[in-house]
Structure 1
Amino acid sequence: MKRNMLKLLALSVIAVFSTAVSAQETYRNPVIFADAPDMSVCKVADTYYMISTTMHLMPGGPIMKSKDMVNWETISYVFDRIDDGDRYNLIDNQTVYGQGQWASSLRYHMGKFWVWFTANGAPGKGFVFCADKAEGPWKLVARPPHMHDASLFFDEDGKKYLFTGSGSCTVVELDDNFMPKKGGLNKRIIDGKSDPEENGALLEGSSVIKHNGMYYVCMISMKWGVPGRVRREVCYRAERIDGPYEKHIILETPFESYGGVGQGCIVGDDQSDKGWWALIFQDRGGVGRVPCAMPVTWVDGWPMCGELNNGVDKNDIKECLNPKNYHIPNDVTKRHPSLQGIIGSDEFANAETLSLYWQWNHNPVNDAWSLSERPGFMRLKTSRVVKTLQLAPNTLTQRMGGPECTGTVCIDLTNMKDGDCCGLAALNGDSGILRIVKKGSKFLLQLVEEKAVFKGRTIERCDEEIIMQKPLAFKNKQKMVYLRLHGDFNPGRDMAQFSYSLDNSKWETVGREIKMTFDYTRHFMGSKFAVFNYATKKTGGYVDVDWFHYEEN
């Protein structure tokens, strides 16, 4: 009996000690080391919900959730596709690269979730969706006019507004149909040109909250060509929704020399100054735009992104993005945030639905892919003759993760037709592509660097360099190939290295590394894993993808 009591006491001490340790666990920014820009966050009970931009990818409007603002998982998409013309279907060289769903606003109001976003490019209209649960289903309720980087706001008196603009901010009152209300408030409240400190800066990305009776508008401030001037987050506040507004800089740091951190949101409980958080993204080259989380300290009524160094001096805010600096709330024990729940492996075992990890490049051709025709495989059929991966329908994509990651895919080539191309790519405006080309009865492995040349949003041409080419010799009728892509997003790198195998045991590195670039004039995204199959001569062929395996490094 005594021995059992001592054992129970020891276990209790260990449990208390473990809880104390877990409560002190810290995390390292970025909390999502992958492309998830333009975040909008709301909190419902003890859960945070977030939406980000995925532009031309379908389904779109990814909804993520977290208990701690650090570890996130994708739980739904707001829409399956956008049917606003041929460009969403890659018809006649038309595309919506860098356009489509953009800078959404996520709110919880009257027991429902609301999303507002504008689809950039013609016809340039907005979307309003509503759902009882963040997991969906989501219902389209309105198609309002285009409003740039709009932030939806429900006030306490029942009125609703949009805060919108680029270089400035205008508040627009909305009617019951989410249209600008006739005779309602429509006023420019912030003008970067009239602010001597912000003169010439690009102010955009409005995010609005109300706290202690004050209205707060957070925006990114960008000014190119000014030495030492990094991107920063500025905040404007007023006692009335129509102003006047005063300004304060709430975040300004180069953070590992990537040019500053700006554009995002702050979220917390209006009943208290405690427990507030900021989620603000940073451009990190080839991997894309990555969210960084930090606690918010209210100082003289301003939401400063950081903590007080000594808990007393209001002028002594910690370097807000210092690695391993902040404690994870709610006793979460992961020291380094994982991308599990956002990027991941897939055995294609579910014959009914596609994993939330995946998005199609533009609208899919739904009768040209199947999870059920060969159970345990993703069948990708050719449905259109195209010249390039940039215009290929039914290309499956996932984000790539930093600082390093590896994606490996297993593909059965048996049913390819002459002229078909399939493979694995680091997809962007400039892409690294490891592809298999069917030529007659032969299979050629090619490593290609492809650079898309745009005219507006239309693909004018793609310039490609074949870096390496070799025939593949299979030993049996079933022609399985294994393709691997390693992405290195460490500072100064942004390189993709490809390799292949015919038995998933003996691997051969292919060619040289290929640079991954972030280009806002074309895709405006980080590089994506892309699994593809398209026809260059005639349709009718298909490949079966057995699995995709993802590893964080």
Structure 2
Amino acid sequence: MKMKLIDLTLLSLFLLVCSLTSQAQKVSNPIIHADVPDLSMIRVGDTYYMSSTTMHMSPGLPIMKSKDLVYWHLVSYAYDVLDDVDALNLNNGKNAYGQGSWASSLRYHNNTYYVSTFSSTTGKTYIYSTQNIEKGPWKKSSFKPSLHDHSLFFDDDGRVYMVYGGGKLRLAELNKDLSGIKAGTTDQVIIENAASPTGATAGLPAEGSQLFKIKGKYYLFNISWPAGGMRTVIIHRADKITGPYEGRVAFQDKGVAQGGLISTPKGEWFAYLFRDFGAVGRIPYFVPVKWENEWPVLGIDRKVPETLDLPASNHAVSGIVASDEFNRGKNDPSLPLAWQWNHNPDDRFWSLKQHNGYLRLLTGRVDTSILSARNTLTQRAFGPESSAITSIDIADMKDGDRAGLLLLQKKYGWVGIKVDAGSKSIVMINASSGVPEEVKSVPVSQKKVYLKADCDFNDRTDKAYFYYSLDGTTWERIGSSLQMSYTLPHFMGYRFGLFNYATKIAGGYVDFDFFRVSDKITALK
């Protein structure tokens, strides 16, 4: 009898340990603690794909892949260059900050992948298609006008539509080849005021359309932001694509909103949404979904759960960022997918071949500000903490040049080298006030320096700290902390950036030896 009791006790302890282990291995919200807004998602078999917004970055319209809805890694971009115009090229005093391409719509139809977007910069709607979403090539088509926050939709009868607009939502039928709005048709209003279920008369009208057809019914997801309230998920449903649509407030918690539905091969349902979370940007959340009376019911007791019944990832850092030693083999891609240029690059003035194992950034013109300089190479900063370190050879900078490690947003900060009157200095620039200020300057005479930036996004602390080293081992903090701030003119979370620009004469260059990113910051505050 004692042996049975011992056996039962051991079994109970074993089950308790398994239960605790299982709970510990559940994934926490947010799924990605980085700027991945305007999610659109599909599942093909047991593989998930997701697109997102990167606006003025190039290449653009990123495609991410996952097998478990938890660990996502970049596999492709739909385009290298959205269009060749001054605003996207940072030419003639123009820029596309906060613009470029916005919310995308990712679809899979008849063995072909489609992803569409729109741009207020060019006034166009763009549709990209491929039969190999991971390797391409992507076929591009575009047309006017720019259909705001549209949802591309292939119906069962072979017709193709876009639902779009803000507040007043419209339906436009497209040509079968997706080359434009079908001739002889006019778009129609399908919902006069999509925000009406909130009862609000002011605030952000309903936008961010994502349309799904599930068991014969049409479900349209939108976001609204009632004045004095929070970002809200609104769902309308109808038996016909043209309506009439019945709407309801579907979710209000923590401002987590805008997205759509995804199902697992096991028949589980989730809503993918995002949350404005300060300087790190707009970060993705998942909430479980149950179906009641043919309506999707979001959340646990209509709240965002802290953990999800999904397996935790073994990856400490998301697959959308990457360290880079700048060594390239014969068959290696030029740049890992984690990198994006700030606006379209000028390929004449950067190289990974001129100095093997280094990224060379050359100055091709004179600029007055780092925000107008071309060929700034960026990656997302991420939370709750992130750090980036680089080494830079400064021997061939010219008078007036500026080069270094940047945290990019309108209220930016950087640590780097400036050359004035033939003398080089390590400087820290802080633009958190809206006006760049040189906070600290340290003379330097050696050829190589090391630079570091730490980001603390814990609980929206949103502070960054900058450092330099002369040997790569002993670090000195320089300047003041940067109070990071998410601003609408840039509409993007902070990014690490490597840069070099001229203020007096073009022709200088710097060589970056490596870029190493980490999810831990130092205590040298």
Does TM, normalized by the shorter one, top 0.5?
Answer: yes
**Structure 1: gaps (5+ residues):** 1-13, 255-259, 307-316, 454-462
Establish whether residue 484 from structure 1 lines up as the match of residue 452 from structure 2: yes
Deviation at 1:248, TM superposition (A): 2.2
Q: Determine the structure 2 residue equivalent to 1:364.
A: 345
Cα distance change, pair 392–196 in 1 and its aligned pair in 2 (3 A): closer
Match of 1:264 among 259, 262, 270: 259
In the alignment, which of 301, 321, 325 is matched to residue 343 of structure 1? 321
* Structure 2 gap segments, 5+ residues each: 1-13, 521-525
Q: Partners of 1:195 and 1:407 in 2: how far apart? A: 45
Contact 1:390–1:452, Cα closer than 8 Å, also in 2: no
The equivalent of 1:537 in structure 2 is 504
After superposing the two structures, state which structure 1 stretch, 396-405 or 194-203, moved more: 194-203
1:507 partnered with 2:475: yes
1:112-158: per-residue Cα shift (whole Å, max 9, x none)? 1101110122x311111111111122111333421000000000110
Aligned to 1:467: 439
Deviation of 1:333 after TM superposition, in Å, equals 4.1
Deviates more, 1:402-411 or 1:432-441: 432-441
Aligned 1:58-457 pairs, distance under 5 A? 58-121=58-121, 123-135=122-134, 136-178=136-178, 179-184=180-185, 186-192=187-193, 197-201=199-203, 202-224=205-227, 226=228, 229-254=229-254, 260-268=255-263, 274-306=267-299, 317-318=300-301, 320-324=303-307, 326-328=308-310, 332-334=311-313, 338-350=316-328, 352-450=333-431
Q: Which amino acid aligns with 1:305?
A: L
CA contact (8 A) 1:431 1:516 kept: yes
Distance of 2:289 and 2:509 partners within structure 1: 52
8 Å Cα contact 1:204-1:219 kept in structure 2: yes
Summarize the Cα distance change of 1:24–1:133 in structure 2 as closer, same or farther, 3 Å threshold.
farther
- How far apart are 1:265 and its partner, in Å? 1.5
Q: Is the 8 A contact 2:432 2:483 kept in 1?
A: no
Given that 1:104 and 1:115 are in contact with CA atoms closer than 8 Å, whether structure 2 keeps it comes out as yes
Show the counterpart of 2:5. Answer: none
Q: 1:49 & 1:173 partners in 2: Cα distance?
A: 25
Q: 1:288 to 1:333 in 2, by over 3 A?
A: closer
- The question of whether the paired residues in 2 share the 8 Å contact of 1:42 and 1:107 is answered with yes
- For the residue of structure 2 that corresponds to 1:511, the secondary structure is coil
- CA-based RMSD of the aligned residues comes to 2.2
Aligned-pair distance for 1:319? 5.1
Which amino acid in structure 2 is aligned with residue 200 of structure 1? A
> Given the two structures, how large is their TM-score scaled by the length of structure 2?
0.90
Contact 1:482/1:504, CA 8 A, preserved across alignment: yes
State whether residues 270 and 286 of structure 2, in contact with CA within 8 Å, keep that contact through their aligned partners in structure 1.
yes
Q: Letter of the aligned partner of 1:525 in structure 2? A: M
Partners of 1:23 and 1:333 within 8 A in 2: no
Shift of 1:23: 9.1
Q: Could you list the per-position Cα deviations for residues 456-485 of structure 1 after superposition, in whole angstroms to 9, with x for gaps in the alignment?
A: xxxxxxx321111111132xxxx1111110
CA shift for structure 1 position 451: 6.3
Matched residue SS, 2:459: coil
Aligned-residue offset at 1:450: 2.7
Compute the displacement of 1:99 (Å). 0.5
1:25 deviation in Å? 2.7
Letter in 2 for 1:437: K
Q: Which amino acid aligns with 1:485?
A: A
Q: Secondary structure at the match of 1:100?
A: coil
After superposition, the Cα gap between the structure-2 partners of 1:452 and 1:264, relative to the gap in structure 1 and judged at 3 Å, is farther
Work out whether residues 248 and 302 of structure 1, in 8 Å CA contact, stay in contact via their aligned partners in 2: no
Distance in 2 (CA, whole Å) between partners of 1:381 and 1:180 is 44
Which SS does the other structure have where 1:92 is aligned?
A: coil
Count of aligned residue pairs for this structure pair = 498
The 1:378/1:494 distance shift into structure 2, 3 A limit, reads same
Aligned-partner Cα distance in 2 for 1:232–1:412: 49
Instruction: Specify the SS of the correspondent of 1:87.
Output: helix
